[in-house]
Each structure stands twice: as structure tokens, then as C-alpha cells.
Structure 1
Amino acid sequence: MSTEILVNIGPQETRVALVEGGATQEVHVQRASRHGLTGNIYKGVVQRVLPGMQAAFVEIGLERTAFLHVADMVPSPNGSGHAPELPPITQLVHEGQQVLVQIVKDPIGSKGARLTKLLSVPSRYLVLLPHERNVGVSARIEAESERLRLKGILEQVQQELAPNFGVIARTAAENAEAEALADDLRFLLRLWASISELSLTAKPGTMVHGDLPLSMRILRDLMGTDVERIRIDNMGEFHRVQQFAQIFVPHAAPKIELYQGAAPIFDLYGAEDDISRALDRRVELKSGGHIFIDQTEAMTTIDVNTGAYTGHRNLEETVLKTNLEAAQAIARQLRLRNLGGIIILDFIDMRSDDHRAQVLRALERALAGDHARTQVYPFSPLGLVEMTRKRTRDSLGHILCEPCPTCEGRGTVKTVETVCHEIAREVQRAARQFEAKGFLVLAAPDVIQRLIGEESLGLAELEASLNRPIRLQSESAYGQESFDVVPL
């Protein structure tokens, strides 16, 4: 399957699309006003310690204080990977203490950033762990022979160059030469020395080290051997990315191209349309079925429906085919929308255990290419599939959208009839508060039209009971739920 990376550079925004087989699979957006913070290292100050939660709130200069849990302060013993014994957090930090911390999860919604004291500094092939000593290999490298080869190389170069540091081989290290890995480690050691020196003089609440810009970070995170080319639509950024690639990702440099086509770069393969559709709640399936995706603060729920698809043989066949198609669509939408955390999938009910197993296998296969870690659980007694997907940054919807000012994020608005009743109650409330000769009601055109028409009898009865006139005025600038009652 052919894979391309499209990079669109705007005045204050960079967008990257990962296209596989002519379909957009992932979209990354970085805005000057809302730069992703994951991976940044800060010098912070502990503001509050919560012994009952084994956590602390740390001021690092962001809008909201960040969250640091004791589990993100204690390394695994001897690099075993097992959860260490967690001491009381009061033994590790105290209020007013200065700490060097790293963001592992961007602020999301009303939650502040998630921090760790177990710093990690990534490069092309490796991740340097300044406060650990273990040597590891990414779980995404599955071939046992390659894992053993990499671990052997890393153990040797670690002893020679960085005996007091931990080192992990990233997925991109697969098939990398020993010298390339050693060069990568030397670069990381120089970078860490610079970070350490800067942290000594940095003021509390300031950033000590920031991650690469998005256009260069994709070479580190998304660039694999199967990527055929990277197209960039900006001359200046094209040269900067090429220079970076020649130093850190030499094999990628020949694949980087300057896009000079007449059409916008995201019109290729319909990437722009894919982004627009990814903001809709409803996703159409080719068979005629559809899925509904609802994202909340706590979790994401996905509901599968047959829609217009009726099948050709029987109901079970129709349900199975729709669910199999939905499994593919769900896996793609999770990547495209970057949905993370707890995800509940409500497939159409299936009686056959074999059909359920087929749907689970299809979902797991479709998720295999996802760069984020996923975990899928069997069907529950209620017929639901629970899964998790690692969340380290905002979803596409959170980046590109904001709550509706009319419904305030509920996804619904009050009906015209409901608003009319609210106006009647507000007029009664105003009549008790003010010695007015009458009242002026300003509301949206549809609301005024209903007050004049279907609600006219009720309005006349209200006027009679108050013994005061009520004037109506249509305001096109008002939303459906907005109105004012003015005493005259």
C-alpha cells in the first residue's frame, strides 16, 4: 500500500496528512496560538501537594496548573518494567519546591497537562532516559531476531557512551546500523547536557526544552520505510525540512519534494474533504449503513446502524456485513479524528458467537496500523465492545471546533415552543419586580412568529391577567434561545 505525507504550511498553522492507499488516515495540526506541548520540559514549582491523591499540582507557566502523580516520579526498579513500590508523595516533593518536569499529555478540556519527572528525550532512533538505567526496544518491533540485535547494540553503546542513562530503541531503529545508533546517542547526550545546563539558570515557570516543529517531527514519528514521498507546499519550509533530514534522517531526504501544483495540496486525495467529514457526528458506510460518533469528556461512544442497507439473503448476513464494514470505518475514524481514552462500540446485535469473533478480528486487524497504542476487549454481556486508545494530544474536533454558542455545547437547542413559554414566565417575573406600563419582548424571528400565531391566545390571556400590554419585536441577530424582556 502506497503511503505519502502531505505538509501544508499556512501563515499561523501547519497541517500534516498521512495518506495510505489514497485515503487520509491521520491529520496533525499545529497552530502558532495553540502549539502542542507534549514532550516539552519545564522548570516548575510545586504549588499544592495532595497526599490523599498521591499527587501534586505544579505551576509551569501555563493557563492551568499541571498534574503530577507519584507514579510518574518513581522509575521501575532495575528497568524491570514492573510497577515500583510507591512511597508517600510527601517524601518526594513539598510545596514551593522547584522541579524539572516533562509534559506527557497536553491540557484537554478543563484538565491541566499531565506531567512526569521521569524525563525522556527522543531523537530519530532512540529515546534517552536521564533518570533510568535500563535498555529497551519498542514493542512495535516484533521480529525477535531484530529485537535481540538492537538490544545487543544498545547495551554495548550504552556502556561505552552513557553508562548512567537509560536508552530505548524507537520503531524507526528497526534495521538501523550500529554506527547510526551510536551517532544518535551522542547527539542525545549533547542535547541533554544543554538542557541540564539551561535548567540551572532558568526561572521557575519557564520552558527549558521544546519539541521539534510539526513539519520536522513527522520525519521522526511518521517516517517509515513504506513512505514513498513527503510533499511540502512551502519553499522555505521545504529547505528547512531537507536540511534537518540530511542530518538526522538521511534516507528520507530524497523522498522530500516541493509541491508546486495549481490545486491546494490538501485537495490531493480529498484530504480537505476528509477533514471536513471528520467533524461530522455521522459517518456514512458504502453499503448504506452509518455510524454515529459522540465524544464526551469521559469517553467516546460509537453506534453502528444498518441504515438503508437491507442485504440480499437474511438479517444475520446484513448485520454481519454492516458490522465488518463498520469495524474498518471505526479504526480509520479513530486515527483520523485522533480519538483517545475509553471508547465504547455499539455494534448491531449479533446472535452468532462466530460472527462476533469475526467482527473483533476485523477491528483488531484494522487497528494494527495505528501509531497509538490500542487495547480491544471482548463483547460485554450487553453486546458492547470496550476499547482504549492512548491519548496524548487533543482530538481533531477539539482543535478545529468550539462549543456552539447557542446550545453551549449540548448539541441541541430549545424548541421555539419552549422559548415562548420561557418568555411568558419571564414577563410574569418582570411584572412582579417592576411597576411598568407594559413590556417589550425582543426575540428571534421564529419565536416572534409563533407568539403572534399559535401562542397568540396564551399571550392575550397573559396581557389580560397582568392588565398591561406586551409588544413584540423581531431581532434577526438573536439566536433561537435568546430573548429579552424590557419593562416600559
Structure 2
Amino acid sequence: MHNSDISLPKDIQRPAEAVLVNITPKETRVAVMEESSLCEIHIERNCGHGLVGNIYKGIVRRVLPGMQSAFIDIGLERAAFLHIVDVLEQRQKPEQPLRIEHMLHEGQNIVVQVIKDPINTKGARLSTQISLAGRFLVHLPQDQHIGISQRIEDEEERNQLRERLENLLPDGAGHGYIIRTSAENATDAELQSDINYLTKRWQNIQQLAKTSAPETLLYQDLPLSLRVLRDMYSDNIDKIIVDSRVNYDLMCEFATNYSQGALDKLQLFQNDSPLFEAYNIEARITQALQPRVNLNFGGYIIIEPTEAMTTIDVNTGGFVGARNFEETIFKTNLEACHVIARELRLRNLGGIIIIDFIDMADEAHQQEILTELAQALAYDRTRVTLNGFTSLGLVELTRKRTRENLAQILCEPCPTCQGRGRLKTAQTICYEIQREIIRESRRVNAQEIRILAAPSVIDLFLDEEAQSLQCLSKFIGQPITLAVETTYNQEQYDIVLQ
């Protein structure tokens, strides 16, 4: 049995934040600190620039009526994917089920926007509903309605914002907007500046779409250093520290035009030690790639992302400091709530997340854990849905997945174990080799058989497995010699028939 979704608190007092922007020629990294704890890391590399928000002139390659989707070439390595639910006409008339084969045909040119980056083997996901993000508004040039961010809950405030925006728009503008949360304290002049900026952007895109060849990039979102000012800046940010003079100047210029409040918070980092070293960010990133996270009082959590979901296991470890065992369990689970919420943001883990808290007999403790977890998750900028305890006593939640997680950006599967996280033991390889020798000796009549393998495998053949190798040699009636290959990993070997 599932509990109904647990709503996250909306009116939380966010702690003061510091944003650190580290820029090198090929990479930009942004760290968000809350009270000296690293809670978010954003990485953008020139070679792997995030595609979400990009607008392309695409060409339809295949229409799949059975899946109600189409593959569109936009100039990437893999064709991108467009589903009927992301087609503008279907979004505008959700009550009328439309058919994708009636709207698209192979070879058709189409303007599309990326709504999900390619992840692993999946191509980028597309939409034909275009949206352009500004500082306070999101422009919907093909729509006419004015929407307001769900996070602005006060009905009177929502009505005032809608009225203010309608007064600023020219009569018969025929364009839609979504008012972002950051618009709560925006002046009319700031909103007008946003409207002008977004209108100009859309005109440029339309002009380019008419004259460009298919598979052309028509619009690219701002670089990460400027998106910090557009998307992440808020009043509770104390300082934005940048370690590049050129980018500091660019950010000051952008802030002057679009984000006046951020101008006073911008600081140029002038220090002998690197910015991320000075704030201990490098060590924290390394820790965020490990499955184990230690808690303060001896407990720990294990975080294991898989293709289908992420599992998180909470353990007491050596923590026995409280008055009784039930209290120990409760305190460990309570501390784990905040660590888990922070690690989800830091590692950017998305999709289904299952948390196995230490079993609690007291239902009141269970309820307190859910309340604490909801409180901790409320700081997340990404949409999170908390479903509560399942019948198996596991906590289930989902977190919107829009880009690759930290490990996918920074790591690749181990070539030795092919990403299994395990190596076959030297003994397992010894037995594999012996089975293969029997197979080969029946197939080919050789004078001698030579085994080339890693040092650990050869050592085993010379020691514990010496007798079995001798028996094998007698059984096949051929001498077997050994040779160490220092460049081989433990699972690599060759059998040479001479």
C-alpha cells in the first residue's frame, strides 16, 4: 500500500548560498554552497555542451505510428525522438487524441527544441512547442495564454502578476508567457526588458529557420556562467565568486542588463590557490563519486544508481551512542534524511529513487522521518515527488531527470570489469583456462600449449593449482608452459597452440 504523495513545504527559509564559478578553456564548473556544504555541482564542457533548450531545424527520418512517435535528424550522432505528447497541436488540444502520422511525413522540415539531453543509448527528446527562457519570464511564442509558476501560491499575488504582464504586452501580441518564481519581486521595467529580449530572440530564430538548411542549430541557450545569473540567482545568494577576469567582465555586463541585484554580489577571485581547492570542492566531488557516504555519528549510507532506479541503503554502522537501540535507529535515519537530499542534488540523481531506512517499529518515528525528508527535499530546485513508505517499508520518491548525473559526466565504465564493479577471481580464470585447453586440445593437435596470463593467475598455477595443471597436461598428453604478461588485467589471457 502506498501513502498518497507527501507535499513538500513551500515557504521554507533557504540558507544563505555562495556560488563559485571555476572556468578553464575547455570546461566551466559551478559549485553551489549552502552554509559551507557543497550541495550542487554543474559542469559544462565545450565538447559536450548540454543540449536542453537548443532549437534546431530538423528533418523527419521515420514516423512510427505504432509508437506514436518520430525520429528526427538534428545533426547529432543519434537521431532524436519526438513523441505525440510533445507535439504542439496535441498539447494545445489534450482532450482530442491526434495521430502523429497525420501531422508528419518523412523528409519534412520541422523546427524542434530539445527537452531532454541524450543519455546513454537514448537520443535527445524533442518538442515542437518552443519555449525561450528569460530572467523572469518563459516566452511561448506559439501560445497565447499567460501561466504562472506553481511555486507562487498566493492567489492575489498570482492575479497581480498576470495583470501587470498583460498591461506590458502590446495589444494583440498573440504570444504566451509563463511567469517564473523570480518575477515575484521584479519591477515593470525589468519585466519589459525581459519581454524585449525574448521577442528579439524569437524573431532571429524565425528568420534563421527560413534561410537555413536542415540539421542546423537555430538557437543555443546561454553558457553556464551566464545561466547562473539568469536561473540560479536569488536574494539569498550572498556572493558569486568567479576565477576568470574575462568571464567576470561578461557576467557583470549580463547582470547590468538582466540581473541588477546580482551585480553587487559578483566577486573576482584573486588568490594563489585554485578556487575549488580553496573551498575544498575538489575533494567533495571525488567523494560524490563513491557509493558510501559517512554520517556524523558512525552511521553511513550506500548510494547505488542503476539503469532502472537508484537505491539508497541506510546503516547504523558503529553508532550506538543513544539511550536505546530504537533511539539509535531513529537518530541515524533522521540524519540520513538531510544527507540523502543533499547527495541527490550533488550527484544529480533522477528517476525512481528507493530509500531503505533502518526498520523502525514506532509509527510515530516513521512519520517524523517522512516529515524531515520532505523538509530536506524542499530545498531542491528540481521537481521531487515523495510517495511515502511502501508495504515493504521502503521510501519511494521520484526526481525529475533532465541531464546526465555527475558520475555519467565524469566517469566511464571500467574497461577491466566492463562496468560490473567486480572482477573474476584469479581462481575463476584458472578454471576457465583449463576448460578452454581441454576444448582446444580436442579440436587441434598441438605439440605444446602455452598459457599467457596476468601475474596473479600465473602465480596461482605455480602454487595452489600446480597439481591440477600437471593432471591436465597428463590428461591431454601435451606439455603446458606458462608465461607472465604484465600488461594483461586479471581477466585477460591467451592460449597459444604450438
Q: Which of the five TM-score ranges fits, normalised by the shorter chain?
A: over 0.9
User: How large is the RMSD of aligned CA atoms in angstroms?
Assistant: 1.5
Contact 1:442 1:472 in 2 (8 A): yes
2:159 to 143, 148, 160: 148
Task: Work out the CA distance in 2 between the residues paired with 1:201 and 1:193.
Answer: 13
Q: Secondary structure at the match of 1:481?
A: coil
Moved more, 327-336 or 266-275: 266-275
Residue of 87, 91, 94 corresponding to 2:98: 87
Q: Which one of 12, 21, 32 corresponds to residue 18 of structure 1?
A: 32
CA change 1:75–1:348 in 2 (3 A) is farther
1:238 lines up with 2:235 in the alignment = no
Offset at residue 84 of structure 1 (A) = 4.0
Give the equivalent residue in structure 2 for 1:135. 146
Question: For 2:185, what is the secondary structure of its paired residue?
Answer: coil
Contact 2:310 2:349 in 1 (8 A): yes
| Residue 260 (structure 1) shift | 1.1
Do 2:355 and 2:395's aligned partners in 1 also have CA atoms closer than 8 Å? yes
Q: Distance in 1 between matches of 2:91 and 2:491?
A: 58
1:457 aligns with one of 467, 486, 497:
467
Structure-2 separation of matches of 1:385 and 1:229: 36
- Matched ranges for 1:282-293 at <5 A: 282-293=292-303
The Cα offsets for residues 165-188 of structure 1, whole Å up to 9 and x where unpaired, read as: 110111221210122112211110
Task: Judge conservation of contact 2:84–2:90 (CA < 8 Å) in 1.
Answer: no
Alpha carbons of structure 1 residues 28 and 272: separation in structure 2 relative to 1, 3 Å: same
The structural deviation recorded for 1:397 is 0.5
Question: Displacement of 1:76 after TM fit?
Answer: 7.3
| 2:336 aligns with one of 326, 336, 344 | 326
> Which residue number corresponds to residue 30 of structure 1?
44
- Equivalent residue for 1:301? 311
**Is it true that 1:119 corresponds to 2:130 in the alignment?**
yes
Is the deviation greater in 82-91 or in 50-59?
Answer: 82-91
Counterpart in the other structure of 1:381: 391
| Displacement over 4 Å in runs of 4+ | 75-78
Measure how far apart 1:433 and its partner are.
Answer: 3.1
With normalisation by structure 1, the TM-score equals 0.96
Amino acid paired to 1:237: N
Unaligned runs of 5+ in 2: 1-14
Q: Which has the higher contact order (CA 8 A, sep 6+)?
A: 2
Conserved? CA contact 2:193–2:258, under 8 Å: no
Note the C-alpha offset of 1:161: 6.1
CA distance in 2 between partners of 1:77 and 1:89 (Å): 13
Partner of 1:469: 479
Preserved contact between residue 45 and residue 98 of structure 1 (Cα < 8 Å): yes
Q: Which residue of 1 aligns with 2:72?
A: 58
Distance, in Å, in 2 between the alignment partners of 1:143 and 1:228 is 26
Residues 120 and 130 in structure 1, CA contact (< 8 A), matched pair in contact too: yes
Shift of 1:146: 2.8
Q: How far apart in 1 are the matches of 2:241 and 2:53?
A: 26
Structure 1 unaligned blocks of 5 or more: none
Answer yes or no: is the 8 Å Cα contact 1:74–1:86 preserved in 2.
no
Q: Deviations over 1:398-443 (max 9, x none)?
A: 0000001111011111111111111112222222333321121111
1:156 aligned partner, one-letter code? N
Q: Which residue in the other structure is 2:219 paired with?
A: 209
Specify the code of the residue in structure 2 equivalent to 1:317: E
Deviating more after overlay: 195-204 vs 134-143: 134-143
Q: Deviation of residue 31 (structure 1)?
A: 0.7
C-alpha contact 1:445 1:476 (8 A) present in aligned 2: yes
Q: Which moved more, 1:304-313 or 1:375-384?
A: 304-313
Residue 293 of structure 1 aligns to a residue in which SS?
A: strand
Three-state SS of the structure 2 residue aligned to 1:33 is: helix
SS at structure 2 position matched to 1:18 = strand
1:40 to 48, 54, 62: 54
Q: 2:392 aligns to what SS in structure 1?
A: coil
- The structure 2 residue matched to 1:366, chosen from 376, 385, 405, is 376
Matches of 1:231 and 1:57 in 2, distance apart?
Answer: 42
CA contact (8 A) 1:72 1:115 kept: yes
